[in-house]
Amino acid sequence: MAHDHAHGPPRDADRRALTIALGLIVAFLAAEVVAGLIASSLALLSDAAHMLTDAAALALSLAAAKLAARPAGSSMTYGLGRVEILSAQANGATLLVLACFIIYGAISRLVSPPAVSGGLVLVVALVGVVVNLVATRILGQSSPDRDRSLNVEGSYRHILTDLYGFIATAVAAIVILTTGFSRADAIASLLIAALMLHAAYELLIASGRVFMEAAPVGLDPDRIGRMLAAQPGVVEVHDLHVWEVTSGFPALSAHVVVRAGDNCHELRRELQRVLEDRFELHHTTLQVDHERASQPPLQIENIEIVHQRAEGSHGDSPGEPKLVDH
């Protein structure tokens, strides 16, 4: 039977934010590549490479958001929500690989630094700060931190890392202009790579938790189990599972044993209300059974042992003791 209710928060605002941010990034990317080549700045080219991955990440996130909006059906009973998690994992992987390339190039330039045009680098970096500030603000306002999908979070981390990278590049340009220390450009690239590694680690861990069906951050299964077991009428709670289908879609299932004679249907509804109110768990599956009634010990009264000579009876030998209940 098909569900008639939606799972997870709506993504319309996410798609609008991703589209606007993608337009800003693509427009600035072309200008930065040209400026980085003219200025011979690895920091600018590193930022441009990161901007390219930003554009790819935004495009991938936008496509994933559109796929995730499709309704559930056929064999995809939860829909395509986890496409967003795949997108976030891809974003984390690209950040990791790109950071390694930047580290390699930065070390080479530390050993043999080229001449860097500090003035052009500074201008482009300041423009980049403004563009990325706008993009991060747009993505940040699409939804609060606690409701932001991991898909949008992956793109947000890309843009935020780029913002910090442009700030570092601007500082490096100022150092080059004031002191002539051209290695500042490579040092700024290393700082950018460190930020990218940090963002990649967090994205890969977060997406990995969803795929491994770990309990969502902030939901403690032990605490939930103790709370359920403490409710009036509940005898036992076991087979408790809490996981995240996709961003903003936590789910719970459990087997609950209640006292014999209690209204198990009403108790199940009450437990579901408690889970919604205290833990914001709106998709719960509770199997509720009554405890087994204790069986009274078998009492045999008025039993006498008689000797019956069963003449012609089947299988009974003369004088065999039998239990007879009077």
At 6, is the pLDDT very low, low, confident or very high (cuts 50, 70, 90)? very low
Which residues constitute the domain of residue 238? 221-290
Whether residue 26 lies inside any domain: the answer is yes
Q: Which residue's entry shows tokens 């390694």?
A: 100
Residues facing 252 on adjacent strands: 242, 284
What is residue 76's DSSP assignment?
B
Number of C-beta neighbours around residue 303 at 10 A: 9
> Which CATH number belongs to the domain containing residue 285 in this structure?
3.30.300.30
Distances (CA, A) of 309 to 169, 302, 313, 314: 111, 21, 9, 12
Q: Is the pLDDT of residue 28 over 90?
A: no
Which of 87-91, 316-320, 322-326 has the lowest average pLDDT?
Answer: 322-326
Domain end marker among 177, 211, 245: 211
Output the average pLDDT for the chain.
Answer: 79
Tokens at residue 175, please?
A: 């150092």
Residue range 201-248, pLDDT digits in tens: 988 998 999 999 999 988 999 999 999 999 999 999 989 999 998 877
Q: What is the pTM of this model?
A: 0.69
Residues 207 and 227 in one domain: no
Over residues 139-150, the pLDDT tens digits come to 877 655 555 677
Q: At 79, which CATH number?
A: 1.20.1510.10
